[in-house]
């Protein structure tokens, strides 16, 4: 309370000079004569930052402050009424959040990855062997991976291997041809389902500059093609594995790059 806001003396009808002097002498002067604790706050209203307790409502102080304006014994504690502050929300925790399991972006937080499904199925042994040899197993194990995966059946591998004189073992040893074939069966960053595919759509793959062409024949399952002269691969089944859309195919897809390697090795004749 400042001096200019002293209340009038109710016993003198608004208070004259004498009344103001009595109030000043009785209420204010003794308080001003007594030194307060460290800080610039008025007597009896110490707040946080001027003394350690921050609740010196009676002007006597509950604890000795960091320094005193005059030496001498610390005044004894006097009863005070605790100041009740309005409820405040608890401050946010500063401790790091606890680790949480990875959350898949697919249709379920407990989705089955492409690798887990193909491994458990037991049918796609050849495909998994060449995928692992090409170093792409981790991609198929990642539940957050968005991709289209083209998975030939065992009979599809048998057919192409017979035609170009290859086996799984010989293909794994030929790193250049292995990469050209496996990379052409993965289209990262795309997860298009059959209803989203249109005729002659071209899909980029992991194989650099190699595109898969989509065919949507009327009344037949969607099909996919690579280099000219090779069989068009028809879809036998479509699987949603986390964020990977897998197409099970009846033929192996051969890219133009893989075809060029096979021609250079004399395994196939150059196309006219």
The pLDDT of residue 238 is above 80: yes
**103-114 mean pLDDT:** 64
Residue listed under structure tokens 């002067």: 29
* pTM attached to this predicted model: 0.61
Q: Which of 23-27, 37-41, 193-197, 266-270 has the highest mean pLDDT?
A: 193-197
Encoded tokens for 5: 């806001």
| CA 86 from centre of chain | 37
The number of C-alpha atoms within 13 Å of 93 and in the hemisphere containing its C-beta is 4
Q: Write out pLDDT tens, residues 217-230.
A: 998 999 999 999 99
More confident residue, 222 or 91: 222
Pair 69, 46: CB distance under 8 Å: no
Lowest mean pLDDT among 10-19, 53-62, 184-193, 232-241: 10-19
**CA–CA distance, 66 with 209 (Å, rounded to integer):** 75
Encoded tokens for 149: 């995966």
Q: Write out pLDDT tens, residues 111-166.
A: 999 999 999 999 999 999 999 999 999 999 999 999 999 999 999 999 999 999 99
Q: In this predicted structure, what is the pLDDT of residue 110?
A: 82
The angle subtended at Cα 183 by Cα 178 and Cα 188, nearest 5°, is 165
Identify the DSSP state of 51: B
**CA–CA distance, 111 with 28 (Å, rounded to integer):** 76
Phi and psi at residue 48, in whole multiples of 5°?
-55, 130
**264-271 mean pLDDT:** 91
Nearest to 115 by CA among 133, 131, 134: 131
Instruction: Count the neighbouring beta carbons within 10 Å of the beta carbon of residue 254.
Output: 24
**CA–CA distance, 115 with 55 (Å, rounded to integer):** 65
**261-272 mean pLDDT:** 90
95 beta partners = none
Q: Compute the radius of gyration of the chain from its Cα atoms.
A: 42
């Amino acid at each position: 309370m400042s001096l200019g806001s002293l209340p009038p003396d109710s016993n003198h009808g608004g208070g004259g000079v004498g009344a103001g002097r009595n109030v000043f002498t009785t209420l204010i002067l003794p308080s001003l004569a007594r030194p307060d604790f460290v800080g610039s706050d008025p007597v009896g209203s110490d707040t946080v930052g001027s003394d350690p307790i921050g609740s010196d409502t009676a002007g006597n102080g509950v604890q000795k402050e960091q320094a005193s304006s005059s030496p001498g014994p610390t005044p004894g504690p006097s009863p005070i009424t605790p100041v009740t502050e309005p409820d405040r929300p608890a401050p946010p925790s500063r401790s790091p959040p606890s680790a949480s399991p990875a959350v898949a972006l697919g249709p379920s937080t407990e989705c089955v990855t492409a690798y887990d499904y193909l491994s458990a199925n037991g049918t796609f042994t050849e495909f998994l062997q060449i995928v692992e040899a090409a170093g792409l197993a981790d991609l198929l194990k990642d539940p957050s991976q968005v991709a289209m995966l083209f998975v030939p059946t065992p009979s599809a591998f048998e057919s192409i291997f017979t035609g170009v004189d290859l086996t799984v073992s010989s293909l794994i040893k030929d790193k250049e041809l292995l990469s050209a074939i496996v990379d052409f069966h993965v289209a990262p960053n795309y997860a298009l389902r059959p209803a989203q595919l249109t005729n002659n759509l071209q899909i980029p793959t992991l194989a650099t500059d190699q595109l898969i062409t989509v065919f949507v024949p009327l009344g037949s399952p969607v099909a996919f093609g690579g280099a000219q002269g090779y069989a068009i691969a028809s879809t036998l089944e479509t699987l949603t594995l986390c964020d990977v859309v897998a197409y099970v195919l009846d033929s192996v897809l051969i890219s133009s790059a893989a075809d060029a390697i096979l021609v250079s090795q004399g395994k196939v004749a150059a196309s006219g």
